[in-house]
Structure 1
Amino acid sequence: MTSQWDQLLLNCGRWRGSFDTLADDLQPIKRQPSLLLLEPAPAGVPLELTLLFWPNDPDPNSDPHQGEPVRTIRQSFHGPDRQLVFFPSGSFSRGSWQLAPMVRAHTEFGFLFRDRRHRLVLFWDGTGRFEHPVLIREYRDGSPADERPLLTAESLLGSWQGQQSELLSTAGLSEPEISPCRLHLTERELEGLRWLPDGGAIRVPDPLHHREKFAIEAWWLAAPDRLERMERVYDANGAWQCSRCLTLRRP
């Protein structure tokens, strides 16, 4: 079984893409081109992250990454982080540990498949109202920038099989528990999903109540026969309880 660090390393490379800020009704507000570099130091540690941004809403007929970047973010990873949970596919999740009144909640889901990444950052305001998502679509530098179409219920209905990885909040830096799973998705089980470009979907509590148990879900249909679903589960006290990732194929 691979370690959390090994699963983080699956994300290494140069990732071109964009950060798309959407309204609460998922309509686009702005797009900012990006380039993310994740590379290990010569000794292997730390892992250095550099994130570059270019001006918003570039001309669709020109290279969005031309010219000088307008903002740079740097971060170093020296080891696994309890707030950043990785799964065997290289996909990951992180977010608020504890919810409380007047505290802005957030969570991030990052899907990885071959030379594509599909990431979502979700925000709630201090009253628990869902505020907006940021959709991040990335591809490895030098690979085709092929995106998936807008996800629909019809593409998900039916049988799927694969494995579930689950990591409890009490497990520290241990590896997720893995078990086989089978799903048969019906229209009823897809109720509440909100469809996104590039084969994505979310199901979010709105409003979010920190005195009720709930889950936040993100889905990505990376290929017609490959589905991944992640969720963060919170208990009735507003504490993060576990994270799960289902990696599924058509039987």
Structure 2
Amino acid sequence: MSHEAYLRSVGLSDLGDDDSDALQRGASLVAHPPHATVDAETVADRYEYLVPELGEDGACGVGLADDPYNLAPICGLEYDQEQLRDHPNTARLVALHETVENLVAETDADWLGVYRRATNPDGEEVLVKEAYVGDHSRAEFPLTESFAERSNNSTVGLTGEAVLVNDVTDHDGPYYECDDRVASEFCCPIRSDGEVVGIVDAEAHEPDFFDDDRTLAIVGACAELADSRLLSPPRVEA
């Protein structure tokens, strides 16, 4: 799909006349999985991360959960650091993390993450955070209409249309707060063959942060991710 067609598919056709090269720059930031075997520390860094304690209503609570979130089960794998060192899914997660780091360097966002559409071990359809740079945040966003009423991530995952929030204090739509410093947000779907396979969510601590250039760079990365295999865990046993 061309970049212009991708803009239309995510509801951002008004940015199609922009003459910057931001779309191409964003696409070029998507990394390729490494061929080299990684060390056990890298396995731990890519599969495990700390998450906030969630309240009964699903809101971010005070403090962190006792146990880190581990991506292995939702990827259909047993968590064995030694066996996962040369697993293709680990290489996929390494490339996703490098992509996120590249996008943060390009946009200067304070928080940025890639989420994949998946079915968790409880059989629930969710967006699972597979790579991010920034403060600790929720690992899974339910893909339900009820949760979408309070979450941009879930809304974008269900509708396939991007959401730009210039100032959260003036925003009257869905918004899930996990960091009260966030002032603006851009959330873009990753669409492949007409289906939403994931999203990129970016946040900043100042309002009106996501100008056309930053927005287009993120969209370009989403279009490239849609054409890659980075949102498809390899079906290979660890």
Q: TM-score, normalised by structure 2?
A: 0.32
Which structure shows the higher strand fraction? 1
Which structure shows the higher helix fraction? 2
Higher RCO (CA 8 Å, separation ≥ 6 residues): 2
Larger Rg: 1
Q: TM-score, normalised by structure 1?
A: 0.31
